């Protein structure tokens, strides 16, 4: 009887990160998502340098046009991209024409989902979100590509 109960309550081994890269809410030019975003999934516990770079960027006051803060943010952003590209990702996708992406990952406590894109004539865009991926078949992830723009 115990065997039957344990079979009925199996926990999925994988989690689908069903996501979308979206532009700013105040951007009215397009109602679709952001295409061509490189989206990486990482075991959040194993990427302290990426988390550190994200914290540094969050702490800099570059959005107000402070030249020193903008230079520091540009340098830290370059470091972040190097760290992202050199780190071992547990999944990767590129957003499609509607801004949608899907990444399947093994179940774990904390997954950092990071998206970045370079668009001609536009600022660099990045967004990151940490989600728990234990006990879920699917998790919806929305990356707001407008929150962090480096000029």
Buried/exposed 101-116: b ≥16 CB within 10 Å, e otherwise: bebebebbeebbbbbb
Q: Where is pLDDT greater, at 3 or 137? A: 137
Domain of 116, CATH number, reads 2.60.40.10
Domain-located, residue 92: yes
pLDDT in tens, 12-40: 689 999 999 988 765 555 567 889 999 99
Residue where the block lists tokens 């979308």: 20
Domain-located, residue 132: yes
Domain-located, residue 145: yes
DSSP calls for 22-48: E--TT--S-SS--TT-EEEEEEGGG-H
Domain-located, residue 40: yes
Residue where the block lists tokens 């302290």: 48
Domain-located, residue 3: no
d(CA 58, CA 77) in angstroms, rounded, equals 11
pLDDT in tens, 89-148: 999 999 999 999 999 999 999 999 999 988 665 555 789 999 998 988 999 999 988 644
d(CA 12, CA 134) in angstroms, rounded, equals 8
Count of structural domains within the chain: 1
87 is in which domain, residue-wise?
A: 12-150
Domain-located, residue 4: no
Domain-located, residue 118: yes
Domain-located, residue 2: no
Give me the count of residues in the chain. 151
Predicted model pTM: 0.83
> Phi, psi at residue 64, to the nearest 5°?
-90, 5
DSSP summary character for residue 13 = S
- Smallest CA-to-CA distance from 99 within 26, 19, 41 is with 19
């Amino acid at each position: 009887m115990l065997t039957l109960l344990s079979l009925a309550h199996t926990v999925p081994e994988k989690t689908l990160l069903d996501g979308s890269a979206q532009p700013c809410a105040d951007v009215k030019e397009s109602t679709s998502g952001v295409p061509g975003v490189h989206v990486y999934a990482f075991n959040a516990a194993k990427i302290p340098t990426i988390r550190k770079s994200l914290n540094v960027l969050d702490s800099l006051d570059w959005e107000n046009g402070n030249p020193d803060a903008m230079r520091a943010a540009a340098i830290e952003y370059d470091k972040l991209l190097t760290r992202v590209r050199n780190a071992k990702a547990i999944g990767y996708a590129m957003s499609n024409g509607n801004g949608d992406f899907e990444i399947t990952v093994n179940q774990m406590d904390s997954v950092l989902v990071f998206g970045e894109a370079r668009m001609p004539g536009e600022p660099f865009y990045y967004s990151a979100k940490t989600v728990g991926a234990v006990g879920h078949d699917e998790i919806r992830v929305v990356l707001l590509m407008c929150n962090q723009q480096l000029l």
